Amino acid sequence: MRIVLLGAPGSGKGTQAKLMVERLGLLHISTGVLLRNAAKRGTELGLKAKSIIDRGELVPDDIMSDMVEERLGREDVADGFILDGYPRNLAQAKSLDTMLERLGKPANQAIQIDVDLEQLIERIARRAKEQGRADDSGEVVRNRMRVYHEQTAPVIDYYANRGLLTHVLGDGRVEEVLERILSVLNVNHAPA
């Protein structure tokens, strides 16, 4: 399975991806983690990306595409992957399709985790306290939500038009959301 996981900031993409990895044995590729790790290592790309992320803006397409393609080109993605945090705009979605076709690993499912806006804001505020993430501060969150609706929401239509998109309700317990996702994927719901 090659899954593109979509949803607004705070929708639970990262949490669900980790649980899906445990249940499905797929590789979780989180662009947020890739970027934060590059920033921690102090690479030129990482430091440049960090300043952009800290303002609540999206990292430029060329940087993200190069980073994602390098990661998807590794051998450990042969059995499938869950891509979390990319694509974030229409240009990235089209670039990803071209990239995956070139690598012989086209996406076969896109899942949109839908969560009410008020619940998203509450989740992000809680995450900011628990994890101390600078990209979860009040003003940055408002900017991230604006950017999401302007740039990322069209990606949902793109995958819907390609017949790959399924919406999953992201409200409720983490385990309930996981069961909804596994149902979409037609996966046995019994714990691994």
Domain ranges in the chain are: 2-178
Model confidence, pTM: 0.83
Among the listed ranges 83-87, 125-129, 151-155, which one has the minimum average pLDDT value?
A: 125-129
Q: How far is CA 69 from CA 58, 87, 129, in A?
A: 17, 12, 33
**pLDDT bracket for residue 192 (50, 70, 90):** very low
State the pLDDT at residue 120: 83
How many CA atoms lie within 13 Å of 86's alpha carbon, on the beta-carbon side? 32
By annotation, the residues acting in catalysis are 13, 88, 127, 133, 144
* CATH for 2-178 (3.30.70.100, 3.40.50.300, 3.40.50.1100, 3.40.718.10): 3.40.50.300
AA identity, residue 75: E
Between these two residues, 116 and 177, which has the higher pLDDT value? Answer: 177
State the pLDDT at residue 33: 83
Q: Are 3 and 79 in contact (CB under 8 A)?
A: no
Q: How far is CA 36 from CA 12, 78, 100, 160, 185, in A?
A: 18, 24, 24, 30, 29
Q: What is the mean pLDDT of residues 141-160?
A: 86
Q: How far apart are CA 112 and CA 8, in angstroms?
A: 9
Write 139-147 long-range contacts (CB < 8 A, 24+).
Answer: 139/56, 140/54, 140/55, 140/56, 141/9, 141/56, 142/56, 143/55, 143/56, 143/57, 144/9, 144/56, 145/8, 145/9, 145/117, 145/120, 145/121, 147/56, 147/57, 147/58
Residues in CB range of 18: below 8 A, 6 or more apart: 28
Residue 150 is classified by DSSP as: I
Q: Are 26 and 81 in contact (CB under 8 A)?
A: yes
Q: For 19-65, what is each residue's pLDDT tens digit?
A: 999 999 999 998 878 888 888 888 887 888 888 878 877 788 888 88
Nearest residue to 76 (alpha-carbon basis) of 102, 35, 105: 105
Q: Are 143 and 55 in contact (CB under 8 A)?
A: yes
Residues in CB range of 144: below 8 A, 6 or more apart: 9, 56, 135
Q: How far apart are CA 188 and CA 192, in angstroms?
A: 9
